[in-house]
Amino acid sequence: MKKNLFFTRLSTYAWIFLLLASTTNAGAQSRSKNAVKTVANTQVPSGMSSGVIDAAIETAYLKYRGLKDGKNADYIPVLAEVNPELFGISMVTLDGKVYGKGDTSSRFSIQSISKVFTMARVIEEQGPKALMEKIGVDATGLKFNSIAAIELRKGKEINPLVNPGAIAATSMIGGATYDEKWNNILQTMSDFAGRELAVNEPVYKSEAATNQRNQAIAMLLSAYERLYFDPAQSTDIYTRQCAVNVDARDLAIMAATLANGGTNPVTGKRVVAAETVSHTLAVMATAGLYDDSGIWLFNVGLPGKSGVGGGIIAVAPGKFGIAAFSPRLDEAGNSVRAQKSITEVVNLLKANQFLVEPRAPKLAVSQVSQ
């Protein structure tokens, strides 16, 4: 009888062991499947295949290629001479793939888009608190080159994406001399673009000969102790950074570097920290397109930045960077075709940051048990 009891207990223990092993194995398989799903979802965003991206860019390009609205910037004489028919769209995804249509290799001056990368360098070097205390991050509600904005706020609470704040940001860049500051700025922009950038000398000379307003802005900031380097040299460095030559592909890579948390997706180089990017994108969202920043965010739902050279960038965090170029501008100083084409692509790809797809509600525990 004791022998039978022993075998009965042994059989019971064996059954329990097999049950536990089976349950553990099933749980491990379930976790493994969930992990595979997570990785797959991370690597392949829904609706973002190469074919879909190409089709979206092609659609936007063909739709707006014939648009003639707007005119070239003429307050910088050499910009008025740029071929107004040029038009290109480029996108770079976080796996480093480059897409494009049209005049994506045509070079033009970066202009105010440069402000984004100078701001990012200042944040990287000195931290977001220094930027807020020494410049500010609020939209002014006035023109991008407004002197009144300085007087009304006594140089405070402007932002790095309008001329007064941008000149102040340039003055904050690390370096004890003109050359050190300039080399720091140019290297930062080159790292974002993934190649060595250079100044368009005719554009620089044209701007330097007509930038009296920016010189006045720098002097006024200095009077309010809101400039942190020599006024004349700060203005000249700022003028030079705006004259850096880029093309739509360069800008798309620069935007994609922001979308990738500060790491260039083409070169793999870490340019700035992810925290720096988050602060940079916040200012782009609120003040990136001059007087029409609110309209842009309402229509596109992505941080963006424009320049009077005809370029615009937009950043879809964790997805892609996109840029478009066309010299004809609207009254706010933003490229007409670049705005419309980027808006079209973003909407076709459903990349608006504020677009939330509804989900079916989960059943309550009581409903499941029934």
- On whether 178 is known to bind a ligand per the annotation, the reply is no
- Gyration radius (Cα) of the chain, Å: 27
Does residue 40 belong to any structural domain of this protein?
Answer: no
- On whether 228 is known to bind a ligand per the annotation, the reply is no
Q: Which pLDDT band holds residue 366 (cuts at 50, 70, 90)?
A: low
Mean pLDDT of 145-173: 76
CA 148 – CA 213 distance, rounded (Å) = 12
Mean pLDDT of 186-190: 99
Mean pLDDT of 160-169: 94
- CA-nearest of 304, 363, 355 to 46 is 355
For 364, phi and psi rounded to 5 degrees?
-65, 155
Mean pLDDT across the chain, nearest whole number? 86
∠ Cα 249 254 257 (to 5°)? 125
pLDDT in tens, 2-38: 444 444 444 444 443 433 344 344 443 443 334 333 3
- On whether 41 is known to bind a ligand per the annotation, the reply is no
Does residue 193 belong to any structural domain of this protein?
Answer: yes
Here the CATH number for the domain that contains residue 170 is 3.40.710.10
Global pTM value? 0.83
For 293, phi and psi rounded to 5 degrees?
-60, -40
Mean pLDDT of 344-357: 95
- On whether 225 is known to bind a ligand per the annotation, the reply is no
pLDDT at 34: 40
Is residue 361's pLDDT more than 90? Answer: no
Does residue 33 belong to any structural domain of this protein?
Answer: no
CA 303 – CA 117 distance, rounded (Å) = 14
CB atoms within 10 A of CB 279: 20
Q: Which pLDDT band holds residue 129 (cuts at 50, 70, 90)?
A: very high
Mean pLDDT of 91-120: 98
CA 193 – CA 358 distance, rounded (Å) = 37
First to last CA, the chain: 46
Domain extent, residue 118, equals 53-348
Look at 137-141, 188-192, 229-233, 307-311 and tell me which has the smallest mean pLDDT. 137-141
Q: What is the DSSP string of 41-52?
A: HHHS-TT--HHH
Q: How many domains does the structure of the chain reveal?
A: 1
Does residue 75 belong to any structural domain of this protein?
Answer: yes
Does residue 369 belong to any structural domain of this protein?
Answer: no
- On whether 112 is known to bind a ligand per the annotation, the reply is yes
- On whether 224 is known to bind a ligand per the annotation, the reply is no
Contact 228, 172 (CB under 8 A): yes
Does residue 74 belong to any structural domain of this protein?
Answer: yes
Does residue 19 belong to any structural domain of this protein?
Answer: no
Does residue 102 belong to any structural domain of this protein?
Answer: yes
- On whether 72 is known to bind a ligand per the annotation, the reply is no
Give me the count of residues in the chain. 370
